[in-house]
Amino acid sequence: MGGQPALAVRGLHKCYGSIAALGGVDLEVGEGELVGLLGPNGAGKSTLVKIACGLVRPSAGTATVRGARAGSADAQRSLGYLAELFRFPDWCTADELLALHQQLAGSDGGAAERRDLLARVGLAEVAAQRVGTMSKGMQQRLGLAQALIGDPRLLLLDEPTSALDPAGRRDVRALLEGLRERGVAVLLNSHLLSEVELVCDRVAIIARGELVAAGTPAQLAHAGGVEVETAAGPRVFAQARREDVPRIVRELVAAGDDVYGVRVLTSTLEDAYLEAVDGAGPAVDA
Amino acid sequence: MNAGVVIARFALRECVRRRVFLIVGVLTLAFLALYGLGTWQVYRTIDEFGTGLAGVEPPTVAGATLVGLAMFATLFLGAVLAVFLTLGVVRGDAERGLLQPVLVRPISRATLLVARFAAAAAVSGAYVAAVALATMILTWAIGGWWPDRVITPLLGLALGVAIIAALSLAGSVALAATANGIAIFMLFGAGLTAGLLGQVGEALSSDTLQDVARVASWALPFEALYQVGLSQLTADTVGFTRLAIDLGPFGGAESASPLLWVWAIVYLALVGAAAFAGFRRRDL
């Protein structure tokens, strides 16, 4: 399967009755790439992830995992998945749950793999603890460990940090960065823009079932003008960029203004997101 | 290890850990104790009355009636077990978020259905066979009566609860757990009612009632299998004793043609195919 993207989605449509959840999405996640999937509630993000997992059937279009049709055994062997809303049997222990998924995934990692995964998500001490006695945050960490069983080449994470505290989110970011270094592709569906901005190589924004923007966080967070603090108050040069600053300052000083400070304004990913979602702007780099 | 075996074993381990088997075992012992007490009381009464009825063997009538009653109760208990092991396998577990992490593994949906069916059918089938056999042994030990046939009634019960498990599993694809449980128990009740109508029809020589029972037995073969088992308890009994049994609450059962067993297997396959067709199209 070398040379194939970890995940390739082409013209993906999904209708639930008369409701169109996806209206022709194209998206690719390369090997070792960490792609953030953003969009408002009901935009179709979870549907896209579930189609990639084989849990939902597309109405039209294709989704392939490392060249294999999504939902096929070959595709399932290559991926790990953490759902947004999931539950594990509350009667079994963390270790038993991972052992079950090892058997289902065909992993021969044994107890060593289970120990390693639990350590990586910070649950090394609770291997024998029953799932039902764990906090939501611990269960989410366990979900991550479960998703990593069998060393998947593509990880599909749907809101993986929604129940985690700030320290837990930092741990997950570190985990994702470690996975990227090992060449694992990740599609991260999250509402936390700051988190996506911090770890993702690329961002795809979906609204109303369509891809409305895609690119690196830097590409999406474009320049937003220059603000100069003068004796008369702040003045904004909306079209100016960083390289325009010396010229602007020279002109102001020449005109007799006193300049006390200069700030180059850049829009954040949040600005880009809101702009894309509200205006359904064009894709930067689909 | 085969994924189907893994899933079936996990389902059974869940029953052990949730103490399902412990509770079922304790309550079954209570049921058997009650049955033993009732049987002892019945045979003591028979002994007091003597055996003077012309041509009728009271111990046989009592034994057949008691074991027939026990089979009825055992079928009900087995149905409860089969339904509760399967009522939420698909939609119920999907709504709780339990199913999705399993199905993203490289296992087919058909494997999941077959594994869960096999676990439920094995447990409930073994259960009804064991309990029915225990009641036969108790009846023999207390009253000295032993059924004319043993294997066929036990197989009939086991296959009957396997069919109930399959219906419940198929229902779980479309219905939420509670709705599915209610639907299956209503089907179960409808099947038993149709069977009773058939017995009444036999006693009254009513073609209409017997036709209703016949159609119901093909639509819901667990009832017909139970009836076959019931009839085989006294397969070799004749004369006034036979007549006395037929007039009792568990008399009048008809032994069906061998086609019933074939149909029961085909029925299982058809229910399984319908369940898989529905599950395959289901978005999770």
pLDDT band at A279 (very low <50, low <70, confident <90, very high): low
Asked if residue A275 belongs to a domain, the reply is: no
What pLDDT, on the 0 to 100 scale, is given for residue A286? Answer: 33
Residue A278 domain-assigned (yes or no): no
The better pLDDT of the pair B63, B198 is held by B63
More confident residue, A279 or A76: A76
Confidence at B99, pLDDT banded by 50, 70, 90: very high
* B253 pLDDT more than 80: no
Q: Is the dihedral of CA A187, A188, A193, A195 positive or negative?
A: negative
- Asked if residue A139 belongs to a domain, the reply is yes
pLDDT at B53: 64
ipTM of the complex: 0.81
In the block, residue with structure tokens 């991260």:
A188
Tell if the CB–CB gap between A104 and B3 is shorter than 8 Å.
yes
Q: What is the pLDDT of residues A133-174, one digit of tens each?
A: 999 889 999 999 999 999 999 999 998 888 888 888 888 888
For B15-48, the pLDDT digits (tens) are 999 898 999 999 999 999 999 999 999 999 887 7
Contact state of A55 with B102 under an 8 Å Cβ cutoff: no
The letter for the amino acid at A120 is: R
A110-119, B141-150, B153-162, B231-240: segment of lowest average pLDDT: B231-240
Residues A128, A27 within the same domain: yes
- For residue A111, give the nearest of B35, A103, A85 by alpha carbon: A103
Q: Kindly state whether residues A156 and A44 are assigned to the same domain.
A: yes
Q: How many helices (H) and strands (E) does chain B have?
A: 12, 0
CATH number of the CATH domain containing A95: 3.40.50.300
Instruction: Show the domain range for A254.
Output: 223-266
Contacts of A104 in chain B (CB under 8 A): 3, 6-7, 102, 105-107
Q: Per the CB < 8 Å rule, is B6 touching A76?
A: no
Higher pLDDT among residues B243 and A28, named by residue: A28
**DSSP per-residue string spanning B207-258:** HHHHHHHHHHHHHSHHHHHHHHHHHHHTTT--HHHHHHHHHSTT--PPPPPT
Name, of A235-239, B52-56, B179-183, the range with top average pLDDT: B179-183
Q: Report pTM.
A: 0.84
Distance CA B84, CA B76 (A): 12
Residue A1: pLDDT over 60: no
| Chain B residues within an 8 Å CB radius of A103 | 1, 3, 6
Q: Please state the length of chain B.
A: 284
Dist. CA A13–CA A24, nearest whole Å: 5
Hey, are the CB atoms on A86 and B100 less than 8 Å from each other? yes
Alpha carbon of A198: minimum distance to chain B alpha carbons (Å): 27
pLDDT of residue A281: 44
CA–CA–CA angle A229, A231, A233 (5° rounding): 55
Q: Is residue A279 one of the residues assigned to a domain? A: no
Q: How far apart are CA A155 and CA A36, in angstroms?
A: 12
In a domain, A34, yes or no: yes
User: Would the CB atoms of A50 and B283 count as touching at under 8 Å?
Assistant: yes
Mean pLDDT of B259-269: 93
Please give the single-letter amino acid code of residue B43. Y
Contacts of B106 in chain A (CB under 8 A): 73-74, 76-77, 104-106
Q: Which residues of B touch A91 (CB under 8 A)?
A: 14, 17-18
Q: Are residues A158 and A244 in the same domain?
A: no
Please give the residue that has the higher pLDDT: either A258 or A220: A258
| Under 8 Å between Cβ of B91 and B159 | no
Chain B hits for A162, CB-CB cut-off 8 Å, are: none
- Within this chain, do residues A206 and A231 fall inside the same structural domain, yes or no? no
Looking at the fold, whether A58 and A108 belong to one and the same domain comes out as: yes
Q: What is the pLDDT of residue A282?
A: 41
Instruction: Read off the tokens for B137.
Output: 């042994």
The pLDDT score that the predictor gives to residue B205 is: 82
The whole-angstrom distance between B283's CA and the closest CA on chain A is: 4
What one-letter code names the amino acid at A244? D
pLDDT at B251: 67
- A211 within 8 A of A217, measured Cβ to Cβ: no
Minimal C-alpha gap between A193 and chain B (Å): 26
Is the same domain home to A249 and A209? no
Report how far residue B113's alpha carbon sits from residue B171's, in angstroms, rounded to the nearest whole number: 12
Q: Is B53 left (phi over 0), alpha (psi -120 to 50) or beta?
A: beta
The answer to whether the beta carbons of residues B111 and B204 sit under 8 Å apart is no
Query: Which has the closest alpha carbon to A242: A256, A267, A225?
Result: A225
Tokens at B281, concatenated: 């199209």
Burial category of B55 from C-beta neighbours within 10 Å (exposed 0-12, middle 13-18, buried 19 and up) = exposed
Q: Where are the domains of chain B?
A: 3-281
Do residue B6 and residue A100 have CB atoms under 8 angstroms apart? yes
Q: Answer yes or no: is pLDDT of A266 > 90.
A: no
Q: Do A103 and A244 fall within a single domain?
A: no
Q: Mean pLDDT score of chain B, rounded to an integer?
A: 90
Nearest C-alpha of chain B: how many angstroms from A67? 16
Are residues B102 and A104, on separate chains, in Cβ contact within 8 Å? Answer: yes
- The verdict on a CB contact (< 8 Å) between A55 and B18 is no
pLDDT for residue A218: 79
Residue A284, pLDDT score: 40
A189 band by pLDDT with thresholds 50, 70 and 90? very high
pLDDT tens digit sequence for A40-90: 888 899 999 999 999 999 999 999 999 999 999 999 999 999 998 889 999
- What pLDDT does residue A285 have? 40
* Mean pLDDT across A222-238: 83
A64 and A180 fall within a common domain:
yes
Mean pLDDT of B59-70: 90
Phi (first) and psi of residue A222, to 5 degrees: -80, 170
Please tell me the predicted confidence (pLDDT) of residue B256.
Answer: 67
| A123 and A57 within one domain | yes
Closest CA of chain B from A135, distance in Å: 17
Q: Nearest chain B Cα to A145, which residue?
A: B101
Determine how many CB atoms are found less than 10 A away from the CB of residue A136: 10
Same domain, yes or no: A35 and A84: yes
DSSP code of A132?
Answer: G
B189 has pLDDT over 50: yes
Q: Tell me, yes or no, whether A145 and A235 share the same domain.
A: no
Structural domains counted in chain A: 2
Q: Do the strands A185-189 and A34-38 form a parallel or antiparallel pair, or are they unpaired? A: parallel
Q: B14 to chain A, minimum CA–CA distance in Å?
A: 7
Residue B75's pLDDT band (cuts 50, 70, 90) = very high
Using a CB-CB cut-off of 8 Å, the residues of chain A touching B6 are 100, 103-104
The span from the CA of B36 to the CA of A238, in Å, is 93
Same domain, residue pair A233 and A176: no
> Of all residues in chain A, what percent carry a pLDDT higher than 70?
96
Residue B141 has pLDDT above 50, yes or no: yes
Closest CA to B156 of B78, B87, B216: B78
pLDDT at B242 over 80: no
- How confident is residue B227, by pLDDT bands cut at 50, 70 and 90? confident
